[in-house]
Chains A and B, each alone.
Chain A
Amino acid sequence: MRVIDVRGLRKEFTVRVRKTMLRREKRVVAAVDGVDLRVERGELLGYLGPNGAGKSTTLKMLTGVLHPTAGHVSVCGFTPVPQRIKLARRIGVVFGQRSQLWWDLPLRDSFDLLKAIYRVPGEQHAAQLKRCRDLLDLDSFMDTPVRQLSLGQRMRGELTASLLHSPEILFLDEPTIGLDVVSKQAVRGFLAELGARGDTTIVLTTHDLADIERLCSRIVVIDHGKVVHDGSIQDLHLRYGSRRRVIADFDVAFTYPVDLPGVVLESSTGTRLVFAVDEVGPLAAVLAANGSLRDLSIAEPEIEDVISRLYQTPAGQVG
């Protein structure tokens, strides 16, 4: 079942540029420029892009906060802006840099208030809260005012707050920003578990590619307001020719000329050679047979490299 259907989505902002002391010129900037996106129920989608690419703007249009300039948007069968209040009951949203909790109230009171606002039946609220308390380990700070929580504790509270009404879609805008390693792992583990159950669709926006690798089966990359990739991480590697690296260390300098199809020598210091390869086997055999091979390691292609190459490609030339 399709829960998000977006076609030709566009959002323009008017920017005023100062020309002289008195004269300002209006310029129209398209933050989102013709995005098409279809998301099925239960998908865990990574929505990537460099700063200013239009990720957050898309999310705000999907949640009904911003009016699209053009295009069709349907989320859970609703048109977000005119039906924002109805839609709000069906979705959960976490902004890593903003808080939906009440600053002055203990976490417990914030949750009680959300129960009233979303009109969640008592039993459902208690069950959801218990699950989040167990998985996110909230018990030690349930009675602490939100203003006194650490960032990691607050983010666990934010995740709980967004899930108490059992939303069909969870939108996460940089949920791990600023978190330490332990908190990041807690958040990722929780999202992985939520995604594995398959009843919540998750749209995750992040700059942390470890989040994406760990969680997302599908990634959509947006740049300059346009979708430049829509598929799995493997598709991305294939498309951009990402290759594994073979790092070979020798006791004495290796001089034998390697001439194998699909093997490129990237760097050499004499005793350490780095190759980019399609297949490791033939190269390993040549290296072992023709030199004093001490150590051989294989590095999987880095998603950072692929994404940074994608970001550096002028928009419109890809996809």
Chain B
Amino acid sequence: MGLVTATVDRLTFRNFTELASLTGAIAASGFRRFSTYRQATVASLVTNTMFGFLRTYVMLAIVGTAGATLAGYTGAQLAGYVWVGQGLLGVVLLWGWNDLAERIRSGDVVTDLMRPIHPVLSYLSADLGRAAYAMMFRFLPPIVVGALVFQIYLPKDLVTYPLFLISVLLAVIVCFACRYLVNASAFWLLDHRGVTMFWLFTSGIMGGLYFPVHFLPDWAVALLWFGTPGPSLLQAPMDIFVERDGVAIRVGLIGIQLFWAVLLLWVCTVVQRRAERKMVIQGG
């Protein structure tokens, strides 16, 4: 993968451990950086929890009128789906990340390019650190609140827990890659707001945030899963958590996420290379 070969000459064990300690150090810094914004964390928690109530009542009303189940979910599974989604929103960080675009606009991106590390790897490592912080402080509180007020589905199989964690990790990587590409559009457009608006509008729908993609016709569901990275952002970990499908399908969902993670990271490195070729550093 270009990501690795750009950083080390040959992928030996020593190089691999050096790379792992490097990404670990950057991830740790990402964790520390986000842990300094405690009030922002509290504000996000309050917002996510409030929207959790709103969405749960809507979902329960829908499943109530539809019968005992809807699109393969029981009421408790849909409640679980909503609250896990509210918790994961801050972990995958669907919206609100424009650091790279701002650095491109200001020209500060030049300092990213002067470090002996591929920019995609550097930003990804920092994002994994941020996600680890969010997993500890933004994921659990909404779920606890949801579980206290509603009957929410908790996994019955033990294997679901590691599968869920792997799925969350892949969701973070897929979401990071999408955000990186949206931000990198600023290399060409400078004003990336149009692309960001498109991402805001489509990611929530395709990711299954507003409603499970299984509410849509079968052909649309297949198109979304295999033709877009959308469901890999949120739908996959949420479906795994509420055990909508059997173990084999849950593993398959992780396979789809892995495919999108590898593909999109590769696209990020290609886009970065193209951007560097035509780059004009803003502001001298």
* A→B interface (CB under 8 Å): 13, 51, 56, 60, 63-67, 84-86, 88-89, 91, 93, 95, 97-100, 102, 104-105, 109, 112-113, 116-119, 145
CB atoms of A102 and B33 under 8 A apart? yes
What would 8 more interface pairs be, CB under 8 Å, given A86-B116, A117-B116? A67-B276, A67-B277, A91-B114, A102-B29, A104-B33, A105-B33, A116-B26, A117-B22
Known contacts A85-B116, A116-B22: A98-B110 contact under CB 8 Å: yes
Q: Which A residue's beta carbon lies closest to that of B277?
A: A67
User: How long is the Cα–Cα vector from A262 to B242 in the complex, in angstroms?
Assistant: 95
Choose among B7, B18, B110 the residue with the greatest number of A CB atoms under 10 Å from its CB: B110
CB pair B6–A116 under 8 Å, yes or no, is no
Which residues of chain B come closer than 8 Å to A65, judged between CB atoms? 110, 113-114, 276, 279, 281
Whether, in the assembled complex, B12 has its beta carbon less than 8 Å from a beta carbon of chain A, the answer is no
Which bracket fits the contact residues of B?
20 to 34
Chain B: CB-nearest residue to A162 = B114
Q: Is A97 touching B283 in the complex (CB atoms < 8 A)?
A: yes
CA distance A307 to B118 in the complex (A): 40
> Are A85's CB and B7's CB within 8 A?
yes
Tell whether, in the assembled complex, residue A113 and residue B108 are in contact, meaning their CB atoms are under 8 Å apart. no
Q: Which residues of B contact A67 (CB under 8 A)?
A: 276-277
Are B114's CB and A66's CB within 8 A?
no
The answer to whether the Cβ of B162 comes within 8 Å of any Cβ in the partner chain is no
List A contacts of B108 (CB < 8 A).
98-99
Whether A93 lies near B22 (C-beta < 8 A) is no
* Chain A to chain B contacts (Cβ below 8 Å), 27 pairs: A13-B280, A56-B281, A56-B284, A60-B110, A65-B114, A65-B281, A67-B276, A67-B277, A84-B113, A85-B7, A85-B116, A85-B117, A86-B116, A88-B115, A88-B116, A89-B116, A97-B284, A98-B107, A100-B114, A104-B32, A104-B33, A104-B36, A104-B37, A112-B25, A113-B25, A116-B22, A116-B26
Q: What distance in Å separates the Cβ of B35 from its nearest Cβ neighbour in chain A?
A: 9
State how many angstroms separate the Cβ of B279 from the closest Cβ of chain A.
Answer: 7
Once the chains are docked, how many angstroms separate the CA of A102 from the CA of B113? Answer: 15
Contact B279 A66 (CB under 8 A): yes
CB distance from B149 to the nearest CB of A (A): 35
Let me know if B33 and A117 touch, CB within 8 A: no
B29 touching A109 by the CB < 8 A rule? yes
Q: From B6, B111, B122, name the one whose CB has the most chain A CB atoms within 10 angstroms.
A: B111
Nearest 3 interchain pairs by C-beta: A116-B25, A88-B116, A104-B33
Measured in the bound complex, the distance between the Cα atoms of B279 and A84 in whole Å is 15
- Which B267-284 residues sit within 8 Å CB-CB of chain A? 276-277, 279-281, 283-284
Contact B110 A95 (CB under 8 A): yes
Nearest-Cβ distance from residue A85 to partner chain B, whole angstroms:
5
Q: B151 at the A/B interface (Cβ < 8 Å)?
A: no
**Interface residue ranges of B64-81 to A (CB < 8 Å):** none
A112 and B113 CA atoms in complex are apart in Å by 19
Q: Which residue of A lies closest to B284 (CB)?
A: A56
Chain A residues positioned under 8 Å from B107 (CB to CB):
98
B21 at the interface (CB under 8 A from A): yes
Q: Distance (Å) between the CB of B93 and the closest chain A CB? A: 16
Chain B nearest CB, measured from A99 CB (Å): 7
Q: Which residues of A contact B117 (CB under 8 A)?
A: 85, 117
Most interface-central of B36, B37, B115, B122 (chain A CB within 10 A): B115
**Most chain B Cβ neighbours within 10 Å, of A60, A63, A112:** A60
Instruction: Take A66-B279, A116-B26 as given contacts and tell me if A93 and B114 are in contact as well, using a CB distance cutoff of 8 Å.
Output: yes
CB distance from A197 to the nearest CB of B (A): 23
Instruction: Compute how far the CA of A98 lies from the CA of B104 in the bound complex, rounded to whole angstroms.
Output: 12
A51 to B116, CA, bound (A): 29
| Chain B residue contacts of A51, Cβ below 8 A | 284
Which residues from chain A contact B33 at a C-beta distance below 8 Å? 102, 104-105
Distance in Å: Cβ of A203 to nearest Cβ of chain B: 14
Q: A10 → chain B, closest Cβ, in Å?
A: 16
What is the chain B residue whose CB lies nearest that of A106? B32
Q: Which of B22, B110, B114, B276 contacts A119 (CB 8 A)?
A: B22
The listed residue (A100, A105, A118) touching B29 by CB distance below 8 A is A105
Min CB distance B281 to A, Å, is: 6
CA distance in complex: A134, B238 (Å): 54
